[in-house]
């Protein structure tokens, strides 16, 4: 057992509102303890009132935030098609204080007779997955002594959420992974009901501290400290939980199940460390701020970093600087006039990740959105498909900020259990500010994924007439492709005002025809087009001649199976003067990740075809516009598989 003593000097801690009951403790306690406690509870209640009133004051100040201007930004079409057949499973996660997979139960949905060959095809070739069972949020990603470390929420016992511990894997390049033993299991009263999400901070001396949420034996959400048992071990195999855990309990006024997912810490101008933790008060989502010098004792800041009414519980908050000028990533503590700060929240209520760009006031411990109309949780999303509980880290080896996101399943839980696994991680993405628009981020698959490229096929200036489908002759379905599209300029000029009210999810998908769209690619299609997933653009024209471009994915015909979700989603994508329409797509069996205009708008889908699989999966260009022809050039690569397997000593 490694040294469980504090990492850093100890000071007096603040009195919590929650008196933890370690397992085996008789809650009646001795009279002396009770007396001492009741005094402290009074103090806690008083300071609780203070904290709550400060928080409410901040919330009132923020309450002017409204939904975004439909015409002004990426947020223009916040779209979440909610198929009527979706009913929440409502059992394990909800009672523990987190949501879980929406499941296709009820409403007469019958299980499709999936066979082994179909289910085996769904497993991916170059996306990170554990060997089996359930995975959810990315946790504590970091780069240390030549290895990328990836921890993740993992159920070692089943392909559904529950019994959550920390899985662990390492990689030299973020693509090929070696599975290591579990990093942390639920073996203490303060994480008995789950070792939940957390983040890593690398201290100036190179040491690592990990803060994570524990769901206690009483399902109270507390924050715990852990650190590597041996900092000389590049694989960071053994983790020690601090003997004084928990280091934080829900403060007064905050629900016992509304206090989770600590961020990576950053330095304040006073030289302290600062973290934020997601929570809510009534329906207002908030990020609580704590300062610490030693990761053991914390001061709750006088208020909150930020709050947005009607957004509900904020899970997995993230906070980081982006450069206003360069394309490099920034370490979390960087501040100054050359940076903007991003706040991201994962909204428990709709299970999507929203971000906003704004200004951070270090002294006041506050953050203000550049545009309150597209504040966090009511504006722009990282991804308009399936993408949740994401987390960034600063990769000091390449000077970039890398984003990990959990990609859940959209099939039935019955099918997940049958195939023995559920969930993927998206290909890690670099994130930078889009300095051309200044109002959105650019997300792009890390360059290392390009090392998997095999044979490429080029198609130049393909004419795709209005109302046509053009097959692309390729072999092998696991692909990555770049495609650019140019609409016929004369047709654009000719077209009358069209589809000004367009939104991806409310316009009938790729089969709905407008003057200037939809056009794009049919991915994972079979020869007879009985199954296909369109990834496409749609251009709407205003009466003043202005064009507005949308980027969408339509899963309504992705599978003949009935027990999978078949949503149509997407959003507005900014297209600047002189830019062609560009899309990059990564197809890896049951996942399609699409990036429009260099990563301004991204969509990740999970699809479960029954026919368009293995050698039968094909790719088509399509143009379903009524007026405009399209010219398209494409570069398509077959992709190799990544090595993702258990670590063995020979690899050392
Ligand atoms: N998943 C974790 C929580 C987090 C949620 C539990 C988000 O810490 O809030 O598995 O998916």
- Say yes or no: CB of residue 411 within 6 Å of ligand 1: no
- 154, 315, 388, 390: which to mutate for ligand 1, most atoms within 8 A of CB? 315
Tokens of 39: 């005094």
Residue 620 is predicted with a pLDDT of 95
CA 629 distance to own-chain centroid:
36
68 CB contacts (<8 Å, ≥6 apart)? 75, 76, 78, 371, 373, 374, 378, 379
Catalytic site includes residue 137:
yes
- Say yes or no: CB of residue 196 within 6 Å of ligand 1: yes
The conformational region for residue 147 under phi > 0 = left, psi -120 to 50 = alpha, else beta, is: beta
Residue 557 is predicted with a pLDDT of 97
24 CB contacts (<8 Å, ≥6 apart)? none
Residue 505 is predicted with a pLDDT of 93
Lowest mean pLDDT among 495-499, 517-521, 538-542: 495-499
| C-alpha–C-alpha distance, residues 232 and 236, integer Å | 8
- Say yes or no: CB of residue 164 within 6 Å of ligand 1: yes
- Say yes or no: CB of residue 481 within 6 Å of ligand 1: no
Residue 310 is predicted with a pLDDT of 98
What confidence tens digit (pLDDT) does each residue in 616-627 have?
Answer: 999 999 999 999
Residue 649 is predicted with a pLDDT of 66
Strand 221-228 and strand 208-215: the pairing is antiparallel
- Say yes or no: CB of residue 137 within 6 Å of ligand 1: yes
Q: What is the dihedral of CA 59, 64, 68, 72, to 10 degrees?
A: -130
User: Confidence class of residue 95 from pLDDT cuts 50, 70 and 90?
Assistant: low
Cα(175) to centroid of ligand 1, in Å?
A: 24
The residue from 3, 69, 111, 137 that is catalytic is 137
Tokens of 98: 């987190």
Neighbours of 555 (CB within 10 A): 24
Tokens of 450: 């390009």
Cα(98) to centroid of ligand 1, in Å?
A: 6
What confidence tens digit (pLDDT) does each residue in 563-594 have?
Answer: 999 999 999 999 999 999 999 999 999 999 99
What ligand 1 atom has the least distance to the C-alpha of 261? Answer: 8
Mean per-residue pLDDT, 534-546: 93
> Is the per-residue pLDDT at 81 higher than 50?
no
CA 638 distance to own-chain centroid:
27
> Is the per-residue pLDDT at 559 higher than 90?
yes
What ligand 1 atom has the least distance to the C-alpha of 316? Answer: 9
What ligand 1 atom has the least distance to the C-alpha of 315? Answer: 9
- Say yes or no: CB of residue 348 within 6 Å of ligand 1: no
Residue 93 is predicted with a pLDDT of 59
Residue in 167, 123, 154 with CA at minimum distance from that of residue 416 = 123
- 166, 345, 389: which to mutate for ligand 1, most atoms within 8 A of CB? 389
Residue 256 is predicted with a pLDDT of 98
Residue 652 is predicted with a pLDDT of 52
What confidence tens digit (pLDDT) does each residue in 150-197 have?
Answer: 999 999 999 999 999 999 999 999 999 999 999 999 999 999 999 999
> Is the per-residue pLDDT at 60 higher than 50?
no
Residue 479 is predicted with a pLDDT of 74
- Say yes or no: CB of residue 389 within 6 Å of ligand 1: yes
Tokens of 99: 């949501």
| C-alpha–C-alpha distance, residues 40 and 15, integer Å | 7
Give the residue ranges of DSSP H helices in 63-137: 92-96, 116-122
> Is the per-residue pLDDT at 105 higher than 70?
no
- Say yes or no: CB of residue 224 within 6 Å of ligand 1: no
Residue 69 is predicted with a pLDDT of 27
User: Confidence class of residue 110 from pLDDT cuts 50, 70 and 90?
Assistant: confident
Cα(575) to centroid of ligand 1, in Å?
A: 35
- Say yes or no: CB of residue 186 within 6 Å of ligand 1: no
Neighbours of 270 (CB within 10 A): 10
When computed from its CA atoms, the radius of gyration of the chain, rounded to whole angstroms, is 25
Tokens of 106: 């009820």
Cα(462) to centroid of ligand 1, in Å?
A: 46
User: pTM of the prediction?
Assistant: 0.88
> Is the per-residue pLDDT at 11 higher than 80?
no
> Is the per-residue pLDDT at 605 higher than 90?
yes
Highest mean pLDDT among 23-27, 333-337, 541-545: 333-337
Cα(220) to centroid of ligand 1, in Å?
A: 13
User: Confidence class of residue 490 from pLDDT cuts 50, 70 and 90?
Assistant: confident
**Cβ 139 vs Cβ 236: under 8 Å:** no
Cis peptide before 246 (omega within 30 of 0): yes
Q: Which residues pair with 287 in a beta bridge?
A: 278, 306
**Cβ 510 vs Cβ 536: under 8 Å:** yes
Lowest mean pLDDT among 145-149, 210-214, 512-516: 512-516
Cα(194) to centroid of ligand 1, in Å?
A: 10
Residue 648 is predicted with a pLDDT of 87
- 95, 102, 137, 409: which to mutate for ligand 1, most atoms within 8 A of CB? 137
Residue 216 is predicted with a pLDDT of 98
Residue 651 is predicted with a pLDDT of 56
What confidence tens digit (pLDDT) does each residue in 421-441 have?
Answer: 999 999 999 999 999 999 999
Neighbours of 114 (CB within 10 A): 20
**Cβ 225 vs Cβ 247: under 8 Å:** yes
- 134, 211, 260: which to mutate for ligand 1, most atoms within 8 A of CB? 260
> Is the per-residue pLDDT at 25 higher than 70?
no
| C-alpha–C-alpha distance, residues 491 and 505, integer Å | 25
The structure tokens 């399943």 sit at 409
User: Confidence class of residue 71 from pLDDT cuts 50, 70 and 90?
Assistant: very low
* Gap between the terminal Cα atoms of the chain: 23
- Say yes or no: CB of residue 425 within 6 Å of ligand 1: no
Q: Which residues pair with 479 in a beta bridge?
A: 587, 638
Residue 45 is predicted with a pLDDT of 31
- Say yes or no: CB of residue 316 within 6 Å of ligand 1: yes
Cα(215) to centroid of ligand 1, in Å?
A: 10
What average pLDDT does the chain have?
86
Residue nearest to atom 9 of ligand 1 (CA): 315
**Cβ 297 vs Cβ 11: under 8 Å:** yes
Burial class for 182, CB neighbours closer than 10 Å (0-12, 13-18, 19+): middle
- Say yes or no: CB of residue 178 within 6 Å of ligand 1: no
- Say yes or no: CB of residue 136 within 6 Å of ligand 1: yes
- Say yes or no: CB of residue 191 within 6 Å of ligand 1: no
Cα(594) to centroid of ligand 1, in Å?
A: 25
| C-alpha–C-alpha distance, residues 361 and 375, integer Å | 16
- 98, 100, 140, 386: which to mutate for ligand 1, most atoms within 8 A of CB? 98
Please say whether the dihedral angle defined by the alpha carbons of residues 380, 97, 406 and 554, taken in this order, is positive or negative.
negative
Burial class for 254, CB neighbours closer than 10 Å (0-12, 13-18, 19+): buried
């Amino acid at each position: 057992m490694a040294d469980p003593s504090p990492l850093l000097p100890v000071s007096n801690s603040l009195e919590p509102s929650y008196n933890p009951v370690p397992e085996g403790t008789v809650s009646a306690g001795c009279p002396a303890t009770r007396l001492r406690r009741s005094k402290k509870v009074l103090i806690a209640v008083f300071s609780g009132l203070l904290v709550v009133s400060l928080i409410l004051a901040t919330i009132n100040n923020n309450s002017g935030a409204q939904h975004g201007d439909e015409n002004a930004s990426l947020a223009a079409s916040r779209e979440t098609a909610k198929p009527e057949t979706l009913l929440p499973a409502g059992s394990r996660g909800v009672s523990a204080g987190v949501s879980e997979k929406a499941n296709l139960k009820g409403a007469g949905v019958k299980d499709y007779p999936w066979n082994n060959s179909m289910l085996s095809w769904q497993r991916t070739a170059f996306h990170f997955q554990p060997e089996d069972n359930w995975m959810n949020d990315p946790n504590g990603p970091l780069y240390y002594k030549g290895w990328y470390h990836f921890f993740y929420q993992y159920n070692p016992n089943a392909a559904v959420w529950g019994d959550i511990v920390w899985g662990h894997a390492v990689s030299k390049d973020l693509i090929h992974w070696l599975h290591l033993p579990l990093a942390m299991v639920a073996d203490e009263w303060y994480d008995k009901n789950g070792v939940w999400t957390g983040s890593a901070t690398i201290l100036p001396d190179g040491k690592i501290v990990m803060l994570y949420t524990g769901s206690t034996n009483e399902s109270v959400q507390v924050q715990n400290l852990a650190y590597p048992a041996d900092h000389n071990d590049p694989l960071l195999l053994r983790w020690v939980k601090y003997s004084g855990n928990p280091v934080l309990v829900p403060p007064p006024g905050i629900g016992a199940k509304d206090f989770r997912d600590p961020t990576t810490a950053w330095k304040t101008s006073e030289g302290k460390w600062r973290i934020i933790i997601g929570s809510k008060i009534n329906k207002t989502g908030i990020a609580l701020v704590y300062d610490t010098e030693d990761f053991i004792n914390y001061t709750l800041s006088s208020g909150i970093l930020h709050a947005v009414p009607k957004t509900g519980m904020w899970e997995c908050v993230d906070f980081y600087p982006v450069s206003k000028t360069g394309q490099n990533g920034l370490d979390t503590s960087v501040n100054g006039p050359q940076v903007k700060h991003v706040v991201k929240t994962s909204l428990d209520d709709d299970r999507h990740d929203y971000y906003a760009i704004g200004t951070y006031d270090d002294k006041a411990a506050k953050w203000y959105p550049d545009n309150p109309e597209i504040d966090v949780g009511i504006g722009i999303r990282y991804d308009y498909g399936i993408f949740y509980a994401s987390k960034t880290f600063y990769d000091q080896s390449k000077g970039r900020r890398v984003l990990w996101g959990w990609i859940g399943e959209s099939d039935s839980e019955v099918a997940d259990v049958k195939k023995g696994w559920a969930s993927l991680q998206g290909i890690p993405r670099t994130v930078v500010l889009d300095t051309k628009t200044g109002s959105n981020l650019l997300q792009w698959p890390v360059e290392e994924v390009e090392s998997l490229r095999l044979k490429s096929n080029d198609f130049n200036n393909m004419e795709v007439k209005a109302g046509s489908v053009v097959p692309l002759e390729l072999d092998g379905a696991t692909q990555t492709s770049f495609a650019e599209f140019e609409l016929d300029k004369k047709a654009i000029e000719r077209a009358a005002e069209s589809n000004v009210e367009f939104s991806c999810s409310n316009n009938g998908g790729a089969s709905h025809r407008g003057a200037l769209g939809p056009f794009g690619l049919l991915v994972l299609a079979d020869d007879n087009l009985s199954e296909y997933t369109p990834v496409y653009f749609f251009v709407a024209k205003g009466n003043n001649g202005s064009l507005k471009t949308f980027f969408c994915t339509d899963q309504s015909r992705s599978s003949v199976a009935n027990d999978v979700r078949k949503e149509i989603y997407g959003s507005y994508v900014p297209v600047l003067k002189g830019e062609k329409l560009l899309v990059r797509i990564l197809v890896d069996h049951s996942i399609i990740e699409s990036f429009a205009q260099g990563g301004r708008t991204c969509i990740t889908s999970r699809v479960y075809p029954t026919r368009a699989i293995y050698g039968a999966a094909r790719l088509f260009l399509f143009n379903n516009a009524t007026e405009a022809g399209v010219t398209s050039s494409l570069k398509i690569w077959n992709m190799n598989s990544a090595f993702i397997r258990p670590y063995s000593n020979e690899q050392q």
